[in-house]
Structure formats: C-alpha cells, structure tokens
Amino acid sequence: MTTAAALAAPRDPALGPRLALTLVALVLLWPAVQIAEFNPLTLLEPKNLSAMARFLGTFFPMALSADFLHLVARSALETLALATAGMALAIALGFPLAIAVSESLSISRIGPARGAWLGPLARAPVRGLLILMRSIPEIVWALLFVRAVGLGPAAGVLAIAINYAGMLGKVYFEIFEAGDTRPARAILESGGGRVNAFFYGVVPVALPEIVSYSVYRWECAIRASVVMGFVGAGGLGQQMELSIRMLNGGEVSTMLVVFLLLVLVADVISALLRKVLR
C-alpha cells in the first residue's frame, strides 16, 4: 500500500487557487457577454446560414480580368506605401517622445544632479500627449484627416503616423525602462555626458526589441490601412469598399487573396529582419 501511494501522482497544491480564479473569471465574463449581446448560436440559425451561403457564393468565380488585376496591383502598392510611410512618420515622432518620457536618462536612474524634481514635471505633458495619440483609433484619425486633406492615401498616412506614434512611444519607453542601465552608468563614471550615456549605453541594449516591435507594428499598419480605406483613406480597402457596395463578390475575393499575400510578404520580411538582429 505504501508503494502504491508513493507511485501515485502528487496532488497539485495550486489546483484550488487556479479553479477559484477560473470561476471568478467566468463570473466576471458573463456580464460582458450579456452587455455585448453575444450569442454564437445565432450563426447556426437557418436563415442566417442561408444568408451567409448566398453572400459567400457571390465570391466565385474570382474577378481575374487584366484591367481589374492592374487596378488591384496598383491599389496593393498604394496600401504598402501608405503603411510604410505612416510607420516611418510614426517612428520619427514616437522615438523622440519616448526619449522625452524615459527615466533611463533621469537623475534617479543613472546619476545624481540638481533639480531632480523637474524631470517628472516635464515628462507629464509628454505622457499625456502619447495617451491622447494612441487612445483615439486610427480609423477615427483617418476620418478627421479625410475631412482635412480630402480622400486618398495622405489621410491614411497621417492617421497611422499619429496613432502608431503614440503606441510606439509607449512601448519604446517601456523597453528603455526595462533595459540594463549598467553600461550607461559606466559611461557616466568614465566622464561621459548624460546624452552620450543614453545613446551609447541604453539604446544599443534596447535596439533589438525596438526593431522587432517596429516591424510587428508595420505588419499591423498594413492591415489597418485596408480598414481605413473603407472611410476613404485610399489603398486596397477603398477599392474593396466600392466592390462591396456594388455587390461584386468576385472582385472582393480577388482583393482578399491579394491582401493575404501582402500580409504573408510582411511576415516573411519581419522574420528575416528578426534573424538578422539575433
């Protein structure tokens, strides 16, 4: 009996707390499901299944005429350019804002000096700006810029730049904060300035994570640019919105395939960049 008890699997001591946390999560999730009026069984109703089948049936055959493929290729290139230009602007805005709010260069982190209380006071407005930029969705920014600069990709570029600059600034700041400050301290102790300590001690440590996250956000920008096209921000999304409005499912299916290829290309490029940075 003793041998059998010894061979029995030990009881997980954390089983009780895990079950309790799971139960609490389900209890908290139920009101959210009710407020959202989410009922997956609605999809299985006969009339809804019939409507979805009719809609998907319009996707075939795909539109493959030479003129339409040329239009889709041009729109796809516009989408790629829109996302890339928007991300370039976002990085140009987000990186200096992240430096402005970062405490990695602050007195409390890498060395004593006068006026330690001024840092948090000066960083507060910049933090507020980053919150404002990322709290408004890119599609809302696109609607605003469509009113300002008119229909076309320029509105999409500005929308991605503003929204993603807020996201990049926050994540870059967190990467700087989580990084090892010992190289920066060594530069300070050897007589280097605070700015040199940041750019030669903090940034090189954080650079692989910064590039990896930036590439990921570029992938997201490609997807977002298609969505923004539905509000007139140009690119593949705008052409897709026109085809949907005209109930031309064949054109929509062709553009969905092209969009899938765009995302695959972005994924391959990001994977290559991550390998290079390792």
**pLDDT score recorded for residue 90:** 94
pLDDT in tens, 163-198: 999 999 999 988 888 777 777 778 777 877 777 777
Question: Does a structural domain hold residue 5?
Answer: no
**pLDDT score recorded for residue 93:** 93
Question: Does a structural domain hold residue 90?
Answer: yes
Band (pLDDT 50/70/90 cuts) for residue 11 is: low
Question: Does a structural domain hold residue 33?
Answer: no
The CATH number for 91's domain is 1.10.3720.10
The number of domains in the chain is 1
User: What is the residue range of 93's domain?
Assistant: 66-277
Question: Does a structural domain hold residue 4?
Answer: no
Band (pLDDT 50/70/90 cuts) for residue 109 is: low
pLDDT in tens, 122-162: 778 888 898 999 888 888 888 888 888 887 888 888 999 99
Segment 232-259 shows an average pLDDT of 84
Question: Does a structural domain hold residue 51?
Answer: no
Q: State the chain's maximal CA–CA distance in angstroms.
A: 82
Question: Does a structural domain hold residue 137?
Answer: yes
Residue 215 has pLDDT above 80, yes or no: yes
